[in-house]
Amino acid sequence: MAERISFTVNGAARSVELEGWEKAIDVLRETLGLTGTKRGCDDASCGACTIVVDGVAKKSCVLPAKRLDGTTVLTIEGMARGTTLHPIQEALIEAGAVLLLVITLVILLVASRFVHLSDIWNVTGSRRGAKQSPVPTSIVGAKLLGCA
């Protein structure tokens, strides 16, 4: 029996029909085309499928899709603003942390849990009308990740 769920993903309201067996990763990748969430182990051990649901990091490969109903979801695609990378993404690139894709994805999403995305955009002055911070983006990102 089909069930319809509605949730917000990366700031956009979405509604999908489920058959009941789907995991969150299936809905994100196959139904919504958000392929930044990676399928790795399918048993929650690797973290490649990490998403943020209502501010909490979750492994989408074991999360029943029906639990997304009424939630707010952030995937890696939701961190950037168009072609402008999020300051945490920029900091990781500057630090050379793009070598291990899975680890980088998890770091980005988990780091974003601790500081609201709009707060980071304000700190670095990337948003229109925001005050320019005297702290370089790479320092902000490094501090968030405990590297500085």
Q: Model's pTM, two decimal places?
A: 0.68
pLDDT averaged over every residue in the chain: 77
Spatial separation of the C-alpha atoms in residues 48 and 26, rounded to whole Å: 14
Whether the pLDDT of residue 130 is over 60: the answer is no
Task: For residue 100, give the DSSP letter.
Answer: S
Distances 79 to 20, 22, 89 between C-alpha atoms, Å = 29, 25, 8
- pLDDT of amino acid 101: 57
Element (H, E) at 111: helix 101-114
Mean pLDDT of 106-132: 52
Between 138 and 40, the higher pLDDT residue: 40
Whether the pLDDT of residue 135 is over 90: the answer is no
Residue 21's pLDDT band (cuts 50, 70, 90): very high
Between 98 and 52, the higher pLDDT residue: 52
Range with lowest mean pLDDT among 38-42, 86-90, 98-102, 138-142:
138-142
Spatial separation of the C-alpha atoms in residues 114 and 99, rounded to whole Å: 23
- pLDDT of amino acid 119: 52
Whether the pLDDT of residue 61 is over 90: the answer is yes
Domains in the chain with CATH codes: 1-76 (3.10.20.30), 79-148 (no CATH)
